[in-house]
């Protein structure tokens, strides 16, 4: 059996560069150009998005085809196949997979054992379909309510809680044989700018960074995180050069993460097509600067031409001496060591059993039970507990209004279908009038719904990220004027709650995955006592 040569000095520069690049692609089959690059060893790792993922059987077949191409490369090295399967609002596996509540729901439950079991259950499903690297957990401390990209992806605003739950979650994931990736180092929580669109700045001094932003990452390193993802965020207290993001900063990557925190695993960039990089030095130059600064795995998620150009630029930078060859050998060595660590390689040889898919292990009752427990234990009555549960005798005079979709953040893929609170509540309180509206229908339906609310004995409104949706805000305000005892349900961002001080009763779920929506319906109907607590302070944004 062919083995990976332990002496990387005998690898070509092109082969080394292939191991330090991760690329994405469109569709649910392997494009011919990508297959050729994998077979040649020019590219050695892949990231998947919802656009690539069908049923568990289809995903397993796709990953089998990807690995088959990689095993035809000169050194027969399997791929790291990655996905952002965070749970909650950033979920890539939908069809047939268990849909887990996300981090802020786990923050509301505040149980490290539950976080561990969610991570383990998720890891087992990922491993079963051939995903070997989960770009999760998010360890950003969300202490800025105006943060446009983290929000419910965070475990909360308390650094210790984020550290404890994040470490437990990643241990659970890695116990299933899937590498975790702590992100976004050194912290993307206290920003009001989305790095997909521009370069955020975290202006705090080192004392504050140590107390807040860095605490979860220190704990993750201590817990054995196999990889860490960089943030396209500028930290002047660590990197004095104006406008230099952490991803491109040797002071952050080598000085802070490697030397100070002692991290020895794989350091992955966030996607270099994001505007914080692409709008500055550019994606291709960013790839060169990131590797030179200390990154081990360069992520270019979407555009084939940029992926090819980045590979060419990295090879040229090494061949011309801009980046020392030993730097790319070091990075490739770490990636290969990770592949050994998660069982893709043994003694340098590919492990056939590890590459065997088991899609029948996805969506099992055990995983669903863990997801349902997370949903139940997260649901929170934020205020107005005295007005709950709803009176079943008044079900025929109860109006339930739900907005069926949410404004998407840039890290979120399109959602095939969202669970319906209106339908879940109608099953528990037969006779209620359930109205589910697409966002575009809200304004047109508002006058009729307001009139119906005036006649109803009980009114419930369920919103999804109203903090980013003017029509949803208008809907709640109109219903609150018509129904003084209006009950609000925040199905995603809990920061929706303080927008409406006139609404005296609020339930928060932090996720609109099925388990969370079902739990909210149970609380409203009196079938479940809510025990969750808000993991963030609910002040107006």
Q: Where in the sequence numbering do the catalytic residues fall? A: 196, 270
- 290 CB contacts (<8 Å, ≥6 apart)? 230, 247, 248, 269, 272, 298
The tokens describing 116, both together, are 């561990």
Q: Could you give the dihedral angle defined by the CA atoms of residues 131, 276, 184 and 154, in that order, rounded to the nearest 10 degrees?
A: -100
Q: How many residues does the chain have?
A: 541
Residues 301 and 47 sit within 8 Å (Cβ to Cβ): yes
Alpha helix (H) residue ranges in 261-324: 275-278, 283-293, 304-319
Q: Which of 374, 383, 373, 370 is nearest to 534 (CA)?
A: 383
Q: Which residues pair with 234 in a beta bridge?
A: 201
Q: Which of 129, 125, 140, 139 is nearest to 170 (CA)?
A: 139
For residue 369, the tally of other CB atoms under 10 A from its CB is 14
Q: Kindly tell me the burial class for residue 37, based on how many C-beta atoms sit within 10 Å of its own C-beta (0-12, 13-18, 19 or more).
A: buried
CA separation, residue 70 to residues 31, 82, 334 (Å): 14, 15, 18
Phi, psi of 129 (to 5 degrees): -110, 10
């Amino acid at each position: 059996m062919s083995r990976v040569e332990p002496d990387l000095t005998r690898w070509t520069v092109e082969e080394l560069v292939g191991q330090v690049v991760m690329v994405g692609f469109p569709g649910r089959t392997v494009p011919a150009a990508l297959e050729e690059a994998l077979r040649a060893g020019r590219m050695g790792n892949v990231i998947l998005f919802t656009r690539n993922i069908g049923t568990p059987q289809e995903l397993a077949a796709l990953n089998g085809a990807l690995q088959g191409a990689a095993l035809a490369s000169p050194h027969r090295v399997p791929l790291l196949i990655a996905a952002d399967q965070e749970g909650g609002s950033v979920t890539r596996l939908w069809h047939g997979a268990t849909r887990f509540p996300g981090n802020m729901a786990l923050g509301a439950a505040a149980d490290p054992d539950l976080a561990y079991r969610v991570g383990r259950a998720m890891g087992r499903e990922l491993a079963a379909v051939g995903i070997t690297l989960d770009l999760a957990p998010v360890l950003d401390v969300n202490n800025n309510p105006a943060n446009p990209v983290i929000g419910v992806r965070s475990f909360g605003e308390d650094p210790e809680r984020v550290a404890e739950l994040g470490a437990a979650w990643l241990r659970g994931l890695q116990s299933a044989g899937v590498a975790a990736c702590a992100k976004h180092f050194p912290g993307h929580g206290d920003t009001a700018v989305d790095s997909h669109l521009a370069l955020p700045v975290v202006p705090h001094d080192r004392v504050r960074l140590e107390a807040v932003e860095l605490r979860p990452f220190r704990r993750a390193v201590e817990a054995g995180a196999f990889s860490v993802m960089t943030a396209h965020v500028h930290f002047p207290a660590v990197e004095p050069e104006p406008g230099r993001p952490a991803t491109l900063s040797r002071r952050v990557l080598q000085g802070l993460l490697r030397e100070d925190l002692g991290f020895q695993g794989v350091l992955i960039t966030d996607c270099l097509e994001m505007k914080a990089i692409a709008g500055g030095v550019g994606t291709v130059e960013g790839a060169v600067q990131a590797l030179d600064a200390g990154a081990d795995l360069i992520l270019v998620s979407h555009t084939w031409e940029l992926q090819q150009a980045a590979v060419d630029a990295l090879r040229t930078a090494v061949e011309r001496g801009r980046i020392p060859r030993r730097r790319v050998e070091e990075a490739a060595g770490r990636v290969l060591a990770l592949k050994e660590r998660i069982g893709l390689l043994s003694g340098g040889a590919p492990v056939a059993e590890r590459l065997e898919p088991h899609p029948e292990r996805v969506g099992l009752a055990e995983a669903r039970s863990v997801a349902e427990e997370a949903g139940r234990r997260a649901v929170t009555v934020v205020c107005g507990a005295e007005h709950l549960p709803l009176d079943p005798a008044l079900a025929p005079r109860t109006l339930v209004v739900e907005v069926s979709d949410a404004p998407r953040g840039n890290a979120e893929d399109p959602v095939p279908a969202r669970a319906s609170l209106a339908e879940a509540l109608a099953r528990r309180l037969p006779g209620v009038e359930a109205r589910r509206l697409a966002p575009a229908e809200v304004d047109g339906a508002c006058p009729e719904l307001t009139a119906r609310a005036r006649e109803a004995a009980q009114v419930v409104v369920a919103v999804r990220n109203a903090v980013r949706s003017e029509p949803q805000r208008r809907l709640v305000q109109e219903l609150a004027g018509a129904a003084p005892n209006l009950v609000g349900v925040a199905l995603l961002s809990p920061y929706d709650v303080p927008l409406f001080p006139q609404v005296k009763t609020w339930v928060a779920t932090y996720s609109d995955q099925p388990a969370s929506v079902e739990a909210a319906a149970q609380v409203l109907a009196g079938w479940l006592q809510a025990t969750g607590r808000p993991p963030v302070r609910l002040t107006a944004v």
